[in-house]
Homo-oligomer: A and B are copies of this chain.
């Protein structure tokens, strides 16, 4: 793929950057196509590159020493990922798996420090990126610690519909294949419980499901369920 400034300027990282700086960054980048199901990098592997997702979706997961898996986050177009250096790590802390056909820009990790110091905008973006992830992580901790499963699932589904939703009829379709197991790993529960909850919601007309599919039919209803202490 040809790397073109006009093509990438819509992404937050580049939006505020001077054209010269963008060109400098792009000149070191390689674009890479990733097929659904492929891993961009694996947990524990030496961190050789950092990335910017141009389109498609990835999920970043970790496996615990006991072999259980959790989904750390979804990566959406425009997101930096694999920036292990910013966390002062030499290996990737998680595995990045492509869930829908993606294209990413790749830079060798050696360039990270250099680019950071030469490019204040990149440094600022990296800092805010990580800052936002930290806040999301705290939100998640708060939810897992204090809310019961149904509300956690509601929050997770709403978040998905905001970050990766496409309008469909009166509702919002989650724009990539997602399993009950995925949702379970995002909310700290089991696929069985997620399945039961979604079934119940489907009965109430809040969502409609399908294999690896999810359509939120009643966003307001789900929000009420997520926010309100107890529904009447």
Interface residues of A (CB under 8 A from B): 62, 64-66, 68, 70, 72, 86-89, 93, 117, 120, 123, 126-128, 130-135, 137-138, 140-142, 144-146, 185, 187-188, 227, 229
Contact = CB atoms under 8 A, between A and B. Distances in A.
A142 B229 contact: no
A140 B139 CA distance: 12
B141 A140 contact: yes
Nearest to A144: B144
A188 B138 contact: no
Contacts of A135: 87, 89, 93
* Copies per assembly: 2
Contacts of A187: 145
Contacts of A188: 141, 144-146
Q: Is the interface of A mostly helix, strand, loop or mixed?
A: helix
A142 B137 CA distance: 11
B132 A131 contact: no
Contacts of A131: 86-88, 130
What are the 10 tightest A-B residue pairs by CB atom distance, in nearest-first order? A145-B188, A137-B137, A87-B131, A68-B146, A144-B144, A134-B134, A130-B130, A88-B128, A70-B145, A64-B146
A142 B86 contact: no
Contacts of A137: 134, 137-138, 141
Nearest to A123: B123
